Amino acid sequence: MTDDSQRNFRSVYYEKVGFRGVEEKKSLEILLKDDPLDIEKLCTFSQRFPLPSMYRALVWKVLLGILPPHHDSHAKVMAYRKDQYSDVLHALMVVRFVNDATPQVEVYLRMYQLESGKLPRSPSFPLSVDENLRVSFDTRLGAKLYIFSRSYCLCPDAPLTPDTILDQHYT
């Protein structure tokens, strides 16, 4: 009974009514100990069970292709991506497409345009950015938000798409 009292009351209830219980946190920890991480298993796990908050960011970064499945390279890849963000931002400041007063949403758009080869010749090219979109960006996210959006655009074969995520979690 000591094991039952320490576990989540829902797990005990589900076992009593005949459902097999799954210790999500322990199962996820076992999946995260693999090297390299098994993307298919992580994808299946994230679709069936809620992700604990302490592992949520790591799992989504791996699933969306921001981080590679090998643990040893996570720190190096994130350092590389932060350097890439700084280099692109510096390049835009040097060519005077952005400055310190430029709204973050416009900075991200210009960074994307520069990396995709679609940066206009003149910085006075009008941008049609929705005002609601400007409000939705939090400037504290900075590099992380840019890295996420950049990786999502470059990874069309990502295991999950926004449509499937919405379908699975809101229906």
CATH code of the domain containing 89: 1.10.8.680
- Are 142 and 91 within one domain? yes
Burial state string for 121-130 with b = 16 or more CB within 10 A and e = fewer than 16: eeeeeeeeee
pLDDT at 83: 92
Prediction pTM value: 0.53
**What does the pLDDT profile of the chain (171 residues) look like in tens digits?**
455 455 567 666 766 776 655 577 788 888 888 888 888 888 888 888 878 888 888 888 888 888 888 888 888 988 988 999 999 999 899 888 889 998 999 899 889 888 888 888 776 655 544 444 444 455 445 555 566 555 555 445 555 454 554 454 444
Q: Are 137 and 108 in contact (CB under 8 A)?
A: yes
- Are 85 and 59 within one domain? no
Query: Does residue 169 lie in a domain region?
Result: no
Query: Does residue 147 lie in a domain region?
Result: yes
Query: Does residue 109 lie in a domain region?
Result: yes
- Are 44 and 110 within one domain? no
Q: Is 58 exposed, middle or buried (0-12, 13-18, 19+ CB in 10 A)?
A: middle
* Domain count along the chain: 2
Q: What is the pLDDT of residues 58-77, one digit of tens each?
A: 888 888 888 888 888 888 98
Give the domain extent around 28.
Answer: 2-65
pLDDT at 119: 83
Q: What are phi and psi of 117, to 5 degrees?
A: 80, 20
Q: Which of 45, 47, 8 is nearest to 27 (CA)?
A: 45
Query: Does residue 171 lie in a domain region?
Result: no
